């Protein structure tokens, strides 16, 4: 694959998009993600995981995802997987699990525990030490948040993601007890939309997400929505209140 340096116009006569090559420390600028190959979605390569670059990426609908032995890769897939609160599907077995009401829901009480839980995968993880440090820093700055499922005082499931205006971009989730990642996802979607958020991004479609009601949005439509929502002032306390007010009962169990 060929690359072009960030901000340098391509001289190709075919006008085929080439992912930008980002030198470390360069200004956080991006190509138009609408131009990325729809079969691949790769927008740029390289750069760093500074807070400024990460936030500028999410504002453009772009996110990092790469293996530990790779350079940083930046993506904007076509189409984009999202979850709408009206499409959220809870199976009968999950509703039975919810009716047990033996867990509590929290947000941002153990962001570190959630991201570490997400990294605990037998098949390996893309949450490298650098990625972990970068999202921990975003959390410290108030831009990354966790949704957590607790049984007694044990963290048994959760997810984390990044807030940009009225968008929440979910990054990863985990469970240590059956169904607790699904509970965290349902709690996050319900509380966020209750608080006024309008877009919940899950990046790529998977059978698991499809079973929970995820749908696909054309990239151009997704990017238009992100552009409209990025200026929305969405205080996280509204999410905390929504989560606290509804707790397990808000699933309709």
pLDDT tens profile 85-138: 999 999 999 988 888 888 999 999 999 999 999 999 877 788 999 999 999 999
146 class by beta-carbon count within 10 Å (0-12 exposed, 13-18 middle, 19+ buried) = buried
Rounded to 10 degrees, the C-alpha dihedral 145/147/151/156 comes to -80
pLDDT of residue 1: 45
pLDDT tens profile 124-177: 788 999 999 999 999 999 999 999 999 999 999 999 999 999 999 999 999 999
**Residue (of 122, 121, 114, 120) closest to 144 by Cα position:** 114
Are 97 and 183 within 8 A, CB to CB? yes
Q: Which domains does the chain have, with CATH numbers?
A: 4-78 (3.30.70.3550), 81-251 (3.40.630.70)
Q: How far apart are CA 69 and CA 158, in angstroms?
A: 27
Mean pLDDT of the residues in the chain: 91
Are 185 and 61 within 8 A, CB to CB? no
Q: What is the DSSP string of 101-128?
A: ---EEEESS-HHHHHHHHH--TT--S--
């Amino acid at each position: 694959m060929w690359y072009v340096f960030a901000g340098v116009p391509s001289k190709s006569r075919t006008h085929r998009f080439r992912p930008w090559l980002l030198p470390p420390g360069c200004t956080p600028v991006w190509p138009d993600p609408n131009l990325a190959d729809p079969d691949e979605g790769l927008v740029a390569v390289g750069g760093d995981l500074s807070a400024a670059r990460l936030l500028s990426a999410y504002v453009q609908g772009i996110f990092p995802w790469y293996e530990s032995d790779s350079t940083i890769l930046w993506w904007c897939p076509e189409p984009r997987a999202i979850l709408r609160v009206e499409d959220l599907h809870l199976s009968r077995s999950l509703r039975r699990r919810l009716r047990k009401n033996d867990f509590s829901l929290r947000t941002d009480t153990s962001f570190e525990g959630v991201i570490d839980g997400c990294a605990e995968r037998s098949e390996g993880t893309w949450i490298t030490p650098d990625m972990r440090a970068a999202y921990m820093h975003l959390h410290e700055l108030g831009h990354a948040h966790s949704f957590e499922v607790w049984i007694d005082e044990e963290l048994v499931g959760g997810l984390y993601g990044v807030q940009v205006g009225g968008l929440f971009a979910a990054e990863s989730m985990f469970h240590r007890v059956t169904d607790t990642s699904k509970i965290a996802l349902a709690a996050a979607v319900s509380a966020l939309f209750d608080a006024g958020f309008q877009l919940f991004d899950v990046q790529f479609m998977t059978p698991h997400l499809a079973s929970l009601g995820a749908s696909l949005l054309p990239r151009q439509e997704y990017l238009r929505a992100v552009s409209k929502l990025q200026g929305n002032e969405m205080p996280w306390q509204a999410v905390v209140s929504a989560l606290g007010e509804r707790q397990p009962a808000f699933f309709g169990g």
